[in-house]
Structure 1
Amino acid sequence: MITDTDPDIRKFIKKNKTAIIPVGATEQHGAHLPVSTDADIITEIAGRLAKNRRYLLLPTITYGVSYEHAPLLNLSITPGTLRRTIRDLCHSLAANGINTVFVLNGHHGNQKALDSAFTGRGMPRVFVLSYWHYMKKDLGHAGFAETSIMLAISRHVKMNRAKRGLDTNNLTKTEIQKLEKLAQKSFLRATKNGIWGNPTNATKGDGQAILSEIVSNLAKRCQTCLTGRDP
């Protein structure tokens, strides 16, 4: 949508007062998925949602808070930088006639930065929505769900390199919580190979189904945010 011209966008905003800011990350996703995975997935979800609901779609912020993936590759920005960027964009959108903004989050590490209340003078209504809350399967990291989604939307998946990662199926809730806490500090120490889950049985068909589920559930949630009523 932002590839349109100034007159086209201003005309669109006169009738459509809602915008989407997709936020991803650039970080390791095992040896089989590109480092752009989080940004790729949230871009796809945001694009489908914006098209279906007539929302103004902004370009994806492709960098996030990914320090926990060191020493593996991560191109990170600080939580404060991410928070200020979102806040500045929301101010700018409001100045251009937008009254509601959906910040679609595609990376776990961004959550603390995005949990801050984006309120104040000159701000539109802001709702932060992390896409994995709108799917039944556990997201993991470079595991079954992410790999399946990437098979559905990308040509850059190398399934011949896919390996099993951390398997939590036989662990207690307490054990999983300890690993999650460790992963927030060092994802590699928690998982040993940077993968949480099993990507080896991922399929394009599963990815398409998961995407449809996410977009459908997100559309309902956005409608509720806008109207205060369940669709």
Structure 2
Amino acid sequence: MSLADHTTRSFADALDDVSVGVLPVGSTEQHGPHLPLSTDHLVADRIAGALDNPNATVLPTLAVGVSDHHRQFHGTLSVSDETFERFVRETVESLAGHGVRKVAVVNGHGGNKPALERAARTLRAEETAFCAPWHWWDAANYVIGHADQHETSMVQHLAPALVDEERLVEAEQDGTESWGKRVHGASIGFDTADFTESGAVGHPAEGSAMLGEDMFEESVAELDAFVDWLADRPFEDLLAEPHR
């Protein structure tokens, strides 16, 4: 059950069973001419929302992330790496104050990864919480670009009305096949606009709702299994330094 749908008393009662928090995070940023700005937080929100595990409570979705590299495209919102890290860390700290000290962060945006890893390290070092970043594409074993066939497929499955199917070919033709731009070994593609006109990286025209359904179901199953893994482990064991 979503934490936000509880009353304060019903959540207190639920703590007899709940030991894992699930925090969906994403971004509000360009995803080419064919996908909505909500793509990253939409996917994270839906995966977390589909979870049916008595060990977990799902927190409200953080819809704005670290997206400065998309700033040249209209509609993109962004906060600094430090602001995002602090927001996640303090959100997890507040949950830990109620006794839920194990958290899976369901991430839908690659640009959030460094901040999430730093927040997780700090929370463990301070013995406040064990916070594990969980990226849906890694769990589903897909190498994704940006607004590519994988993200397109996810939205075609979850919210088909938000996909502009007439712009799929344009997204691919004016996009690029791989992320970044390199010259003589140096990376000079600091922003997405440096190497893709449409904002897409990959092959969005190859997306399908069927592929999206497969990826979604696999992601939810992997998240469910990970929540069980966290729930089964004593908090003290998760804080322990790895064997050398």
Q: TM-score, normalised by structure 2?
A: 0.82
Mapped to 1, the partners of 2:88 and 2:48 lie a distance apart of 16
Identity rate, percent: 29
Q: How does 1:1-231 map onto structure 2 within 5 Å?
A: 1=2, 2-49=4-51, 51-52=52-53, 54-73=55-74, 74-116=76-118, 117=121, 118-121=123-126, 123-154=128-159, 155-162=161-168, 163-164=171-172, 165-168=175-178, 178=182, 182-183=188-189, 185-227=190-232
Shift in CA distance, 37/217, structure 1 to aligned 2, threshold 3 Å: same
Contact map agreement 1:53 1:219 (CA 8 A) in 2: no
Verify the 8 A CA contact 1:26 1:63 in the aligned structure 2: yes
Letter of the 1:149 partner, please give it: M
Q: Is the 8 A contact 2:55 2:228 kept in 1?
A: no
SS of the aligned residue for 1:205 comes to helix
Name the SS for the 1:14 alignment partner. Answer: coil
The 1-side partners of 2:162 and 2:181 are apart by 32
Q: Deviations over 1:90-125 (max 9, x none)?
A: 111111121211111111111111111123546122
SS of equivalent to 2:21: strand
Contact 1:149 1:207 in 2 (8 A): yes
Q: What amino acid sits opposite 2:60 in the alignment?
A: P
Q: Which stretches in structure 1 are left out of the alignment for 5+ residues? A: 169-174
1:138 deviates by 2.2
* Matched length: 220
* Structure 1 contact 68–186 (Cα < 8 Å) conserved: yes
Secondary structure of the structure 1 residue equivalent to 2:32: coil
SS at structure 1 position matched to 2:16: helix
AA partner of residue 98 (structure 2):
N
Q: 1:217 and 1:181 mapped to 2: Cα distance?
A: 34
Structure 2: how far apart are the matches of 1:46 and 1:182?
36
Q: Which runs of 5+ in 2 are unaligned?
A: 234-244
Counterpart CA distance in 1 for 2:191 and 2:181 is 14
What TM-score does the superposition give when structure 1 sets the normalisation length?
0.87
